[in-house]
Structure 1
Amino acid sequence: MNIDEQTVDKIAHLARLELAADEKQTMIKDMNKILGFMDKLNEVNTTGVEPLVYMTAEVNNLREDAIKQDITTEEALENAPSHDDSHFLVAKVISK
């Protein structure tokens, strides 16, 4: 496949890009290089090669999520500049 100016225009439109004439020529060259590299990769014999899904065979050992309360509500509110019995009080920031 060879990239031409119409293809670059279509891709630029889909990507919502505005390209100058010199930028289009640069993109044509770069995209053709990329496709050339992909053609070389397609020449490699991959028969019998398993697809790579994960980079390592390591298993991620996650801990169980456990709900625990380290401090009480009263302790959390002790240093609050403004609070009621169970909530922090903050200045109103949204108005209608």
Structure 2
Amino acid sequence: MAKNVITDETIEYVGILAKLELSEEEKENAKKDMANMLDYIDMLNELDTEGVEPMSHVFPVNNVFREDVVTNGDDREQMLANAPDKKDGCYKVPKTVE
């Protein structure tokens, strides 16, 4: 039996927030589903979590920093070698905006 009871006003409010238009049958189903979710949360709250460190991810996530080192250098002439058209050391492309 569900301990948490969801009122019609709560369902109406959630429907407004979610911008949903629910039929009466959908509202009843949503009330039951929400009550079941809250009952499950209550059941989880009964667990002893003393000494359990909170976590944001199930796997250890570490940010790996490295120095930003340029390895290929500035080789503009080689990059432009196969360009169909170039001007002032840059690629020349057709005009796309009037």
Pairwise CA distance, 1:43 = 1.2
Is 1:86 aligned with 2:69?
Answer: no
Residue matched to 1:8: 11
Higher relative contact order (CA 8 A, sep 6+): 2
TM-score by length of 2: 0.68
Please list, as runs of the form range in 1=range in 2, the aligned pairs for 1:11-90 lying within 5 A after superposition: 11-57=14-60, 59-70=62-73, 72-90=75-93
Alignment RMSD (CA, Å): 2.7
Pairwise CA distance, 1:70 = 4.8
Question: Which amino acid letter does the alignment assign opposite residue 5 of structure 1?
Answer: D
Return closer, same or farther for 1:78/1:19 CA change in 2, 3 Å cut-off: farther
Partner deviation per Cα, 1:36-94 (whole Å, 9 max, x = no partner): 10010111122233223453457454432213435611222222233212222333334
Aligned residue pairs total 95
Give 5+ residue unaligned stretches, structure 1.
Answer: none
Give 5+ residue unaligned stretches, structure 2.
Answer: none
Question: Which amino acid letter does the alignment assign opposite residue 30 of structure 2?
Answer: M
Return closer, same or farther for 1:68/1:4 CA change in 2, 3 Å cut-off: same
Query: Percent of pairs identical after alignment?
Result: 36
